[in-house]
Amino acid sequence: MRFVKWLGCGVWAGSWYLMYLEVTRWHHVKPSLRFNSDPVPGSEVQPRPGLPLKLLYVACAVSPLVVVATSVMQASGRRSRVAGATGSSPP
């Protein structure tokens, strides 16, 4: 469980850093986190987000949920172990 939590934290930090780069440096995403779908001048081609950008959106949304869920599960497991240890001792 600890590994999943640390992996989720790494994905969370990395995905938001990449999203920052997408907004500020590469301009594929608008500051509202919407795909920048401005048409290419002189072309009828409508741009669409590729698989890496779609996966980045998923990672930005799912990794915080994974970290919070594993933290809650660890805390509830810790509480149940502590509650069981403070119970009455066998005769």
Task: Tell me the C-alpha distance between 69 and 65, whole Å.
Answer: 6
Q: What is the pLDDT of residue 73?
A: 93
Q: Which amino acid is at 24?
A: T
**What pLDDT digit, counting tens, does each position of 64-82 carry?**
999 999 999 999 988 777 7
Section 36-47 average pLDDT = 87
Tokens of 17: 């850093």
Tokens of 20: 């920052």
Instruction: List the one residue out of 66, 72, 33 whose CA is nearest residue 49.
Output: 33
Q: What does the domain layout of the chain look like in residue ranges?
A: 2-69
